[in-house]
Amino acid sequence: MKKTSTSALVAGAITTALALSPVGVANAADTEKCFGVAKAGKNDCAAGPGTSCAGTSTTDAQGNAWMLVLKGTCEKIVGGSLAEK
């Protein structure tokens, strides 16, 4: 009994989806111009930009010991377990 009702339900859901589906859905490869977000490529053959000056300093500013100071939008997130802090 259970089996019949499952296959009937599934068949109903798919038949509805088929009825609603537009004819000739465009394929990914057909799209001409917009290919979505152009995410920056990360590999290149340049040295570290700008901040290289930090690299030429004689002492390494950031050794093993470091202290995190959080100064971001995390201040805008409240409630939940944070209230217990």
Interface residues toward other proteins, by CB under 8 A: 2-3, 6-14, 16-18, 20-21, 23, 25, 27-29, 31, 33-58, 60, 62-64, 66-74, 76-82, 85
Judged by phi (left if over 0) then psi (alpha if -120 to 50, else beta), residue 24 lies in left
Per DSSP, the three-state class of 5 is helix
Measured from the CB of residue 1, what is the shortest distance to other proteins in angstroms? 13
Measured from the CB of residue 9, what is the shortest distance to other proteins in angstroms? 6
What is the distance between the alpha carbons of residues 33 and 36, in angstroms, rounded to a whole number? 9
Closest CA to 11 of 22, 23, 3: 3
Quick check: 59 and 52 in contact, CB under 8 A? no
Measured from the CB of residue 17, what is the shortest distance to other proteins in angstroms? 4
